[in-house]
Structure 1
Amino acid sequence: MDFVKEFNCIMEEQKEIALATCKGGNPNVRIVNFCYNNTSKGVIYFSTFGDNQKVEEFEINPTVAFTTVPHEGNSHVRIKKGTVQKSNYTVYDLKDEFIKKIPDYAMTIEQVGEYLVLFEVHFQEADVTIDLENSSSITL
């Protein structure tokens, strides 16, 4: 099984991640929309309001973990160690990527885009699970 190919399919199809941060030894997880372009291997993008609690947590500890959220089946990607940073891009730069994946995001960008800050999570390794019998770790 080609787990890199499966990784790319999951990252293209799934729309949400459960993003975990840690501040002062206290873990915190939330669901966020994301986009991934397989030409920028090992980087996902998501936006959030600049005054959001997670932004404060990123500044204190930029190490994060996440898993994609499957809405059918069990296929998912899990990142155990990623680094989050504010992107040099804006949500407007990646507007087409977000809307392609999440059509309703067009309205979000139109209504509150100027208040959204784009973040990147960089990672080198991923655990790819297809089902109960097929999983593997890959390096990007």
Structure 2
Amino acid sequence: MDFVKEYDRIMAEQVEIALATCIDGAPNVRIVNFCCQDDSKGIIYFSTFGDNQKVGELVKNTSIAFTTIPHEGNAHVRVKHGRVKKSSRTLYDLSAEFIKKVPDYAITIEQVGEHLVLYKIEFHEADTTVDLENIGHILL
């Protein structure tokens, strides 16, 4: 099985990740929409309000983990060793990618886009689960 091809498929189809942070030994997880670009494996983006608890956690500890959230079946991508930082790009730079994944995101961008900060997650390996029998570890 070509797990890189499956990784590409899952990342293109799924729209949310469960993003895990950890500060002072206290883990915290939340669900966020994400997008990625076809030519940039190992990089995903998400946006958030600049003044929330998540931002404070990301500043204190840039190490994160995440898993995509399947809405049918069990296929998902899981990353254990990601690094997050504020992106030099804006949400408006990637608005087409967000809207392609989540069409209703156009409303979010229109209504509160100026208050959202774009974050970039970089990672070099991922576990790709296709089903209960097909799980592969890939390097990106």
Which band: TM-score by shorter chain? over 0.9
Cross-structure match for 2:92: 92
Paired residue secondary structure (2:41): coil
Cross-structure match for 2:57: 57
Paired residue secondary structure (1:35): coil
Separation in structure 2 between the aligned mates of residue 37 and residue 76 of structure 1, nearest angstrom: 18
1:38 aligned onto 2:35: no
Cross-structure match for 1:25: 25
1:127 aligned onto 2:133: no
In the TM superposition, what is the alpha-carbon distance from 1:37 to its structure 2 partner? 1.1
Cross-structure match for 1:115: 115
In the TM superposition, what is the alpha-carbon distance from 1:41 to its structure 2 partner? 1.5
How many pairs does the alignment contain?
A: 140
Q: Provide structure 2 residue ranges, at least 5 long, that are not aligned to the other structure.
A: none
Q: Deviations over 1:19-78 (max 9, x none)?
A: 000011100000000001121110000000000111100110000000000000000000
Q: Deviations over 1:68-122 (max 9, x none)?
A: 0000000000000100000011000000000000000000000000000000000
Deviates more, 1:32-41 or 1:82-91: 32-41
Separation in structure 1 between the aligned mates of residue 107 and residue 61 of structure 2, nearest angstrom: 32
Paired residue secondary structure (1:39): coil
Provide the TM-score with structure 2 as the length reference.
Answer: 0.99
Separation in structure 2 between the aligned mates of residue 13 and residue 37 of structure 1, nearest angstrom: 12
Percent of aligned positions that are identical: 68
RMSD, aligned CA: 0.4
Q: Which amino acid aligns with 1:2?
A: D
In the TM superposition, what is the alpha-carbon distance from 1:18 to its structure 2 partner? 0.2
Separation in structure 1 between the aligned mates of residue 8 and residue 24 of structure 2, nearest angstrom: 34
Q: Which amino acid aligns with 2:72?
A: E
Separation in structure 1 between the aligned mates of residue 45 and residue 52 of structure 2, nearest angstrom: 16
Q: Which runs of 4+ in 1 moved over 2 A?
A: none
Paired residue secondary structure (2:84): strand
